[in-house]
Structure 1
Amino acid sequence: MPVVVGFSTKPEGIAALKVAADEARLRQARVLVVPNTEADDPGPHIDALTEAGVEWELRPAPVTREIAEHLMEIADEVEAEMIVIGLRRRSPTGKLLLGMNAQRVLLDAGPPVLAVKAD
């Protein structure tokens, strides 16, 4: 069962990719990389997966739906072992409200979700 990762070129997306690589290596699984948008090219960051020695596959970014829905649909389709997403650092007040997509994945996804912050 694969590890699905929501990827963006922001620091939290890059951190999520690295953690997904570590989790996949531990679980002897492959990684499905799902860009948040068509502009989020994981190419320069794929080395994290190669260096971890895990197989990976790039899935298309969502075109007509939100990333949360797209990510959960792919995870269900492939019976993912887990989903990894990146979270931004927030102010104390901002911590009360997660980003809409992150909150939706955390609350509605079937498989376990691992949320990570950038260094």
Structure 2
Amino acid sequence: MTILVAYVARPEGQAALDKGIEIATRRNERLVVVNAGPGGRDESIVDGYEGERVAERLSQLPIEAEFKHFVRGKSTIEEIEELVDQLQVSVLVIGLRKRSPVGKLLLGSMAQEILLNVSCPVLAVKAN
């Protein structure tokens, strides 16, 4: 089984990564951390340094762990759904950020779309 973490280079992404590491280590399950998006000006895409930092942290864990970085033109949701279907994911960990009522109304919610579309349990964590 695999713990999948949807990672962004923001505090909520760090919270998801920390919780994913904790769960995978406790359960002795494989950990896959993914950062994905269509590319362009998508602010959720990590740069090379951030990706290397995450990969380095994962390489020091006592479990099998890897970092995947996709910028293939697919949406973040599509990439996550494909990985959930391919990897026998026992739990998907996502980070949530606080939004104003107007922000919730205008921007929609990627977290909501993930919750409604993936076929595995989802753990949503907040940044401190």
Please classify the TM superposition score into its range, dividing by the shorter chain length.
0.7 to 0.9
Partner residue, 2:18? 18
- Taking structure 2 as the reference length, the TM-score comes to 0.78
Is 1:68 the counterpart of 2:95 in the alignment?
no
Q: Is the contact between residue 8 and residue 35 of structure 1 (CA under 8 Å) also seen in structure 2?
A: yes
Q: Is the contact between residue 18 and residue 48 of structure 1 (CA under 8 Å) also seen in structure 2?
A: no
Instruction: Provide the secondary structure at the position in 2 that maps to 1:115.
Output: strand
Flag the 1:15–1:2 CA change in 2: closer, same or farther, 3 A.
Answer: same
Deviation string, structure 1 residues 73-92 (Cα, Å, up to 9, x no partner): 1011011111111111123x
Unpaired runs of 5+ in structure 1?
none
19-28 vs 59-68, which moves further: 59-68
Aligned partner of 1:103: which letter?
Q
Partner residue, 1:86? 95
Shift of 1:36: 3.0
Instruction: Provide the secondary structure at the position in 2 that maps to 1:61.
Output: strand
Across the two proteins, how many residue pairs are aligned to each other?
118
RMSD (CA atoms): 2.3
Aligned partner of 1:32: which letter?
V
- Taking structure 1 as the reference length, the TM-score comes to 0.83
Unpaired runs of 5+ in structure 2?
40-44
